[in-house]
Structure 1
Amino acid sequence: MLVRLMYASRAAESVGQDELPAILRQAKARNAAAGITGVLCFSGGIFVQVLEGGRMPVNALYGRIVADARHREVALLSYEEVGERRFAGWSMGQVNLARLNPALLLKYSETAALDPYAVSGRVTMALFEELVATASIVGQG
């Protein structure tokens, strides 16, 4: 059974943009081995991530994220059983913030800043789907 989980968290003060490549490398290796795909966005100290895969591997990964000291204020935005993956092409894709049009963020929220705490999980998922459609996600495979 496939599930899709989306969460947001605030990065611990020790986590910066320069650490993101190492986090992504580690996530890609572990996720591929567990059959998990997904997309990660990190902006302004906030992580938003969509994870897809089997129920038990996704649940186990989410448990590790909640316990990870690099994350604070972890919030489950959505969790659903799905018939197919939306982010199957990425063991862990990353949103290319340099290509992100601020107008796209304004389409889904009050400001041009990524703030998943201020909008619904459904709205955040719609934003991610549009990011895929506009090729704003990098790091396939």
Structure 2
Amino acid sequence: MLVRLLYASRATAPMDEATLAAILKQSREHNLAEGVTGLLCYADGIFIQLLEGGRDAVNARYKAIVADPRHRDAILLSYEEMSERQFAGWSMGSVNLQRLNPGLVLKYSETGRLDPYRMSGKSLLALFHELVSSGAIVCS
């Protein structure tokens, strides 16, 4: 059974580009082996991640993320069964924040600032779909 999980968390320490690149590399390696696909966004000390895959693999990945000392204040925004993946093309795509249009964020949020703690999971999923369409997702 396929599921989609969307969560947000706060970083316990600032992430520079090298650290974030290492996290993405590790995620891509683990996810490829486990059949998990998805997207990761990091902005202003906040992670937003969407995971798709088999229920056991996605649940295990989320459990590991929640236990990871680099995260705090994890919040589950959406969890649903699905018949097909929507982000199957990436073992872990990442959002290119240089291409993130505040007007697009404002379409789904109270402000032009990306804050998943003030957005619904449904709104974030719709935003991710638009980011894919606009080319703001770095594929891998």
Is TM more than 0.5 here?
yes
Q: Which amino acid aligns with 2:71?
A: H
Residue matched to 2:81: 81
Identify unmatched segments of 5+ residues in structure 1. Answer: none
Instruction: Give the CA RMSD over aligned residues.
Output: 1.0
Per mean C-alpha deviation after superposition, the further-off stretch among 96-105 and 11-20 is 11-20
Q: 1:18: how far off? A: 3.5
Instruction: Report % sequence identity.
Output: 61
- Within a 5 Å distance, the mapping from 1:106-121 to structure 2 comes to 106-121=106-121
Q: Which amino acid aligns with 1:44?
A: D
Q: Which residue of 1 aligns with 2:45?
A: 45
Q: Which moved more, 1:9-18 or 1:59-68?
A: 9-18
* Total equivalences in the alignment: 140
Question: Do the aligned partners of 2:14 and 2:45 also contact (CA within 8 Å) in 1?
Answer: no
The Cα of 1:23 is off from its aligned counterpart by 0.3
Query: How far, CA to CA, are the matches of 1:66 and 1:16 in structure 2?
Result: 21
Query: TM-score, normalising length from structure 1?
Result: 0.96
Match in the other structure for 2:97: 97
Q: Which runs of 5+ in 2 are unaligned?
A: none
Partners of 1:42 and 1:48 within 8 A in 2: yes
**Once the two structures are superposed, what CA deviation does each residue of 1:14-70 show, in whole Å capped at 9, x if it has no partner?**
534431000000000000000000000000011000000000000000000000000
Checking the alignment, whether the CA contact within 8 Å between 1:14 and 1:70 is kept in structure 2 is no
Aligned to 2:130: 130
TM-score where L is the length of structure 2 = 0.96
> Given residue 68 of structure 1, which amino acid in structure 2 is its aligned partner?
D
